[in-house]
Structure 1
Amino acid sequence: MSLYRTELRRLAKRRFTRYMSLLGLLVLAAVVVGMFFSNQKIDAAAQVRAERQAEQQYQDQVRYTEQERAACTQAEAAGTKDANRFPPECDMITAPPREAFQAEWFLPSTFDFRESFGEMLIPFAAILGLVGFVVGASFIGAEWSSGGMMNLLLWRPKRLTVLLSKLAALLTGMFALTVSTGLLWYGGFWLVALFRGSTEKVTSGVWQSLALTGLRGLVLVLAATTIGFALASLGRHTAMALGGVVALLVVGQFGLGILLSMARIPFVEAWLLPTYAAAWMQKKVTLENWEACNATFTGECKPETFDITWQQSSVMLVVGVAVILGGALWAMRRRDIS
């Protein structure tokens, strides 16, 4: 019997895998439902209401300006003009132009598929990445803690073959879960845009861009799954992976961020892993340092910027997975099984 097929069936039959996958799907479904009910389609009536609100706010501002100019004139005539409240000349108090009050500000939230769906692929990858990490850690960690790995190696003494077969089965399962859920994710938000937003200007180029973003999300999910599996294999317990991630986030990321901020190091986010995950999904993240001012010819102060691209993130992703998985394979080959 094929070890790979056996591990694949065992993965599918594990209650923890089913419950964790179901929990992830419920969270994703809640996001879609929440977006459906928090948005609405913009029709002619909504446009009219928004125009009316914009006009009302403009008229309120005009009345307020007239009152302030009248108060300034009276205070100037009485010799009690407050320099902190009024300008040197009362005629300087004027209302903003009508075009400053845009009707778009008063429109209800609507879901534009072309503009907004790309952002929704980030929580999709994050949630399924977390599911993959925990399932992967539990899948191999339970084998070590229960003694199942030792029994299996009596039947199949090739250590690396056994470990890699388990990893292949795990990645196959997560691949199937991510792709099938991703298709539902695309379809769900297409329905949200259809009934609660807009599907205009969604060209073949837009679909290609969204497909590439989804592919990067799939890679991120599989990488997180591999890391969880490898960490649990290194520590021979599920808690090794979960504890390592908690330590990394609390000590290595949160603590490092505070330390670098206290040291006034520019671009603190460049040292934090979530920044590179965001750059991988968004293709580029631009960090800003407002303590460094780059003056323009108009006198405007612009912050110093630093770009992190998906290519830089891919290097970190590949190196991280290779080092952790390589360590797990080395430990599997060199350490005693007991």
Structure 2
Amino acid sequence: MSLYRTELRRLAKRRFTRYMSLLGLLVLAAVLVGVFFTNQKIDASQLAKAERQATQDYQSQVRYTEQERVNCEQAKKAGTPNDGRFPDDCADISAPPREVFDARNYLPSTFDFRETFDQTLVPFAAILALVGFVVGASFVGAEWSTGGMMNLLLWRPKRLTVLLTKLAALLTGILAVTLPAAVVWFAGFWGVATFRGSTEKMTSGAWQSFALTGLRGVVLVLVLTTIGFALASLGRHTAMALGGVVAVMVVFQFGLGILLAMASVRWAEAWLLPTYLLAWMMKTVTLQDYQSCNFSYSGECTPQTYDVTWQQSSVLLSVGVVVILGAALWAIRRRDIS
């Protein structure tokens, strides 16, 4: 009997695997439905209504400004104390230009596929990566805690082969859930854009960019699934993986973030893991140093920036997988199975 097929069957029959996968898919479905009902398709009547609303707000602001200028001049003539309410020169009180009241700001939310779809791939990857991490940790952690791993090694004593076959079956199962979910995700949001937004300006380059982002999302799901599996195998219990994540989030994320903020460390976000995970999905995350200024010829203050790229994230993820999975393989080879 093939060990790989046996592990696939065991993974598929585990109730925890089914429930977690179903829960993750339901959350994704809820996101899709929520986006559908919170967006509208913009037509000519809505554009005209938004333009009227923008004009009304501009006229209201003009009337308010004129009244404030009159109040300022009256206060100057009466010698009333200013108390900082009015400027020294009442002529400085003027209404903002008409172009500030852009009609687009008065339109209801609409889903533009080209402009917005790549942002939806971030929660898609995050939710399925969480499912993969927990399922992977439970899949091998339960084997260790119930003694199933020891019984299996009596039948197939090659330790590394057994562990890697379990991992291969796990990744196959996660991939079997992720790939169809990704296809439905693309199709679902195309439908949202068709009925509640716009599918205009889609080019082959845009499709290629979305496909590459989706591919990186799938890779992220597989990477975190592997890490969850390896942590649970290293600690011989599911709690090892889950406890490790809690420790990383509390100590190295929240604690370190607070410490870096208190110390006013430059580019503090560059030391935090979520920045690199987001950069992996979005290709680039630009950090800004608001304590520094580059003054332009117009006198505008522009903060200095630092880019975290997906290439840097790929190095971090690769090192993490190699170190954690390597430690799990070394542990199962060197330690007694008891």
Name the TM tier (shorter chain): over 0.9
**SS of equivalent residue, structure 2 residue 314:** helix
Q: Where does 1:177-196 land on structure 2 (aligned, <5 Å)?
A: 177-196=177-196
Q: What stretches of structure 1 move > 3 A for 4+ residues in a row?
A: none
Report deviation, 1:83: 6.3
Deviates more, 1:192-201 or 1:70-79: 70-79
Task: State how far apart, in whole Å, the 2-side matches of 1:114 and 1:310 are.
Answer: 21
**SS of equivalent residue, structure 1 residue 99:** helix
Q: 1:104 matched to which residue of 2?
A: 104
Deviates more, 1:11-20 or 1:66-75: 66-75
TM-score by length of 1: 0.98
Q: 2:135 matched to which residue of 1?
A: 135
Cα deviation digits, residues 214-239 of structure 1 (max 9, x gap): 00000000000000000000000000
Q: Where does 1:14-163 land on structure 2 (aligned, <5 Å)?
A: 14-80=14-80, 82=82, 84-163=84-163
Q: 2:174 matched to which residue of 1?
A: 174
Q: Where does 1:256-267 land on structure 2 (aligned, <5 Å)?
A: 256-267=256-267
Task: State how far apart, in whole Å, the 1-side matches of 2:81 and 2:253 are.
Answer: 54
Cα deviation digits, residues 179-212 of structure 1 (max 9, x gap): 0100011111111111110000111111100000
Q: 2:228 matched to which residue of 1?
A: 228
Task: State how far apart, in whole Å, the 1-side matches of 2:227 and 2:281 are.
Answer: 18
Report deviation, 1:285: 0.6
Instruction: Give the AA of the match of 2:67.
Output: Q
Size of the aligned set, in residue pairs, is 338
Report deviation, 1:298: 2.5
Cα deviation digits, residues 15-34 of structure 1 (max 9, x gap): 00000000000000000000
Task: State how far apart, in whole Å, the 1-side matches of 2:256 and 2:68 are.
Answer: 51
Q: 2:312 matched to which residue of 1?
A: 312
Report deviation, 1:75: 1.8
Task: State how far apart, in whole Å, the 2-side matches of 1:323 and 1:275 are.
Answer: 20
Deviates more, 1:257-266 or 1:156-165: 257-266
**SS of equivalent residue, structure 2 residue 323:** helix
Q: 1:5 matched to which residue of 2?
A: 5
Instruction: Give the AA of the match of 1:2.
Output: S
Report deviation, 1:81: 5.8
Task: State how far apart, in whole Å, the 1-side matches of 2:142 and 2:298 are.
Answer: 64
For structure 1, the 5+ residue unaligned runs are none
Q: Is the 8 A contact 1:72 1:81 kept in 2?
A: no
Q: Where does 1:199-238 land on structure 2 (aligned, <5 Å)?
A: 199-238=199-238
Task: State how far apart, in whole Å, the 2-side matches of 1:290 and 1:75 are.
Answer: 39
Report deviation, 1:79: 2.5
Instruction: Give the AA of the match of 1:305.
Output: T
Cα deviation digits, residues 251-305 of structure 1 (max 9, x gap): 1111111112222211111111000000100111111111122222332222121
Cα deviation digits, residues 58-111 of structure 1 (max 9, x gap): 111011011111112222222226262222332332222222211001000000
Task: State how far apart, in whole Å, the 2-side matches of 1:92 and 1:234 are.
Answer: 69
Q: Is the 8 A contact 1:279 1:313 kept in 2?
A: yes
Task: State how far apart, in whole Å, the 2-side matches of 1:119 and 1:257 are.
Answer: 24
Task: State how far apart, in whole Å, the 1-side matches of 2:97 and 2:319 are.
Answer: 56
Task: State how far apart, in whole Å, the 1-side matches of 2:300 and 2:89 are.
Answer: 27
For structure 2, the 5+ residue unaligned runs are none
Root mean square deviation, CA, Å: 1.0
Deviates more, 1:252-261 or 1:136-145: 252-261
Q: Is the 8 A contact 1:12 1:18 kept in 2?
A: yes
Q: Is the 8 A contact 1:294 1:302 kept in 2?
A: yes
